[in-house]
């Protein structure tokens, strides 16, 4: 069950409680699902009971109890707990394996939904401004993935309504490059009453003397926030861990290399319990050196980084690195909705960097493929499935930014 699906399940419970006379409230348009705050529990949490309590004329915990009774036996939910003044905390049934299975089943469309179904948005951008064109294209791709429709309108020079870098936020205010905000017309999602959005990111600098190529250029224009000035420098071409673009593309290629390596060993990914995690006690030089990651030996042999010569020590239980990666994958649908509503593809780009970094921590800490005479186990299949799911999310996210996800880097 994804966060979007959980949100719909909670919304359905609210609607049923209203229909049966247990609650007297206006059913909200959507329910926010997020990770539990400190003091919470489970996989996800929602403050919907606190939001409805005033209209219901009842304490938040009473509203939470009404909803809990309807949700605790819902398919995909293992447990519902109430914490604090009335937060609902959800533990999903087989959440980890189900999440990985869901990603692999949906493929590049994982995270796509109908969250913006029927919405029509007019993106107004300055004419002949390359960065605005790229940002508008990425916004259009993300909105379309959520069921919405966009139309881009080019504003001729001289007809500017806001200074460069100013964007609209979901409170209906505008924000300039200094972070100051002021009131501005618009709906709850930063869209004008007529469905228009002014996109005016800080313009791109002149093209570099050394051409970057289409994909690095798009990344350089999309990764910074709209109010930040982009850098079109050869740094985006360097195959080093200091280059976020390289980390994202390389993480995808490593995930694909693991799948190919498993195929050569005669086994395939199968979501399940990750079992024992083999902590790879690498020296700092081996763990952190970008040269290791980009050497031909590493690219050609997925087993290199799991080599017994590196030194291993099995540790029972799913690793924190695996949980961090699972969290990044689970957050992907939420990030897409947030990026679409804020018209901010940079949020997706930063999430892909975080996902890639989580993948590398998992990759470095866990023996994904068997070594030597070791036979592939169910845990190996589960770890491989998680790695493949990470690569799938990275590829899908890059495609929404209009960037390729190469099999080899």
Give per-residue pLDDT as tens, 129-174: 999 999 999 999 999 999 999 999 999 986 655 545 544 443 333 4
Domain match, 200 and 298 both: no
Contact 43, 1 (CB under 8 A): no
- Structure-block tokens of residue 44: 């996800």
Residue 176, domain extent: 120-214
Classify residue 106: in a domain, yes or no: no
Domain match, 302 and 256 both: yes
Which residue(s) pair with 198 in the sheet? 124
Domain match, 271 and 380 both: yes
Classify residue 107: in a domain, yes or no: no
DSSP state of 267: -
Domain match, 250 and 386 both: yes
Classify residue 175: in a domain, yes or no: yes
* CATH number (domain holding residue 28): 3.30.1360.70
* CATH number (domain holding residue 264): 1.10.730
Domain match, 169 and 81 both: no
Domain match, 85 and 138 both: no
Which residue is it, tokens 């409230």?
25
Classify residue 263: in a domain, yes or no: yes
Rounded to whole angstroms, the maximal C-alpha distance in the chain is 71
- Structure-block tokens of residue 159: 């007809």
**pLDDT per 10-residue tile (average), the chain, 409 residues:** 86 94 92 86 90 94 95 87 93 84 97 95 94 97 98 83 48 37 36 78 81 88 93 78 93 97 95 60 36 36 35 44 93 96 97 98 93 89 96 98 93
Beta strand ranges found along 281-387 (DSSP E): 312-315
Classify residue 20: in a domain, yes or no: yes
Separation between Cα atoms, residue 32 and residue 34, nearest integer Å: 7
Q: What are the C-alpha distances in Å from 225 to residues 132, 243, 341? A: 12, 17, 15
Classify residue 326: in a domain, yes or no: yes
Separation between Cα atoms, residue 163 and residue 197, nearest integer Å: 14
Helix axes 320-341, 95-106, angle to 10 degrees: 50
Domain match, 377 and 243 both: yes
Which residue(s) pair with 79 in the sheet? 91
Domain match, 320 and 246 both: yes
Residue 115, C-beta contacts closer than 8 angstroms, at least 6 positions apart:
4, 30, 146, 147, 337, 340
Classify residue 99: in a domain, yes or no: no
DSSP notation for 309-332: GG-EEEESS--HHHHHHHHHHHHH
Separation between Cα atoms, residue 407 and residue 405, nearest integer Å: 7
Phi, psi of 127 (to 5 degrees): -70, 145
Residue ending a domain, among 158, 180, 214, is: 214
Domain match, 87 and 124 both: no
Contact 288, 241 (CB under 8 A): yes
What H or E segment, with its residue span, contains residue 66?
helix 60-71
Contact 147, 222 (CB under 8 A): no
Q: What is the pLDDT of residue 41?
A: 81
Contact 53, 88 (CB under 8 A): no
The total of structural domains in the chain comes to 3
Q: Hey, what long-range contacts does 241-248 have (CB within 8 A, 24 or more apart)?
A: 241/288, 241/290, 241/293, 242/290, 244/353, 244/356, 245/215, 245/216, 245/219, 245/220, 246/409, 247/353, 247/356, 247/357, 247/360, 248/352, 248/353, 248/355, 248/356, 248/394, 248/398
Q: What is the pLDDT of residue 160?
A: 52
The closest alpha carbon to 150, from 193, 109, 195, 192, belongs to 195
Classify residue 104: in a domain, yes or no: no
DSSP state of 233: S
DSSP state of 176: -
Domain match, 206 and 249 both: no
The closest alpha carbon to 25, from 15, 13, 38, belongs to 15
Which residue is it, tokens 């999903």?
92
Q: Give the up-direction half-sphere exposure of residue 94: CA atoms within 13 A in the CB hemisphere.
A: 10
Contact 204, 131 (CB under 8 A): yes
Domain match, 289 and 200 both: no
Domain match, 129 and 257 both: no
The closest alpha carbon to 346, from 249, 248, 261, 220, belongs to 220
């Amino acid at each position: 069950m994804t966060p979007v699906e959980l949100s719909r399940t909670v919304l359905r419970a609210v609607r049923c409680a209203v229909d049966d006379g247990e609650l007297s409230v206006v059913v909200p348009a959507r329910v926010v699902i997020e990770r539990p705050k400190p003091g919470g529990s489970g996989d996800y949490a929602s403050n919907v009971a606190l939001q409805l309590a005033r209209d219901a004329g009842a304490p938040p915990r009473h509203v939470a109890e009404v909803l809990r009774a309807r949700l605790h036996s819902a398919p995909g939910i293992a447990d519902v707990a109430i914490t604090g003044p009335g937060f609902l905390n959800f533990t999903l049934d087989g959440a980890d394996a189900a999440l990985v299975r869901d990603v692999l089943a949906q493929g590049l469309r994982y995270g796509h939904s109908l969250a913006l179904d029927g919405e029509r948005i007019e993106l107004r951008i300055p004419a002949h401004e390359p960065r605005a064109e790229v940002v508008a294209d990425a916004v259009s791709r993300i909105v379309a993935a959520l069921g919405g429709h966009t139309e881009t309108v080019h504003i001729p020079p001289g007809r500017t309504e806001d200074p460069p870098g100013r964007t609209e936020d979901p409170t209906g205010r505008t924000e300039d490059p200094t972070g100051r905000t002021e009131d501005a017309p618009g709906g709850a999602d930063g869209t004008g009453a007529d469905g228009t959005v002014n996109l005016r990111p800080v313009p791109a600098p002149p093209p570099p003397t050394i051409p970057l190529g289409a994909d690095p250029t798009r990344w350089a224009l999309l990764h910074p926030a709209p109010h930040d000035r982009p850098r079109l420098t050869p740094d985006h071409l360097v195959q080093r861990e200091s280059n976020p673009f390289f980390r994202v593309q390389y993480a995808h290629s490593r995930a694909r290399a693991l799948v190919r390596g498993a195929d050569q060993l005669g086994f395939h990914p199968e979501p399940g319990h990750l079992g024992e995690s083999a902590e790879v006690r690498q020296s700092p030089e081996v763990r952190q050196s970008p040269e290791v990651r980009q050497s031909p030996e590493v690219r050609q042999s997925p087993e290199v980084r799991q080599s017994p010569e590196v030194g291993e020590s099995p540790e029972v239980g799913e690793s924190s690195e695996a949980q961090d990666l699972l969290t990044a994958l689970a957050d992907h649908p939420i990030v897409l909705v947030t990026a679409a509503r804020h018209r901010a593809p940079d949020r997706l780009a930063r999430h892909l960097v975080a996902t890639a970094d989580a993948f590398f921590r998992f990759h470095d800490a866990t023996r994904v493929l068997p070594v030597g005479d070791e036979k592939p186990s169910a845990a190996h299949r589960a770890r491989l499935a998680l790695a493949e799911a990470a690569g799938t999310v990275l590829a899908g996210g890059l495609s929404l930014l209009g960037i390729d996800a190469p099999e080899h880097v």
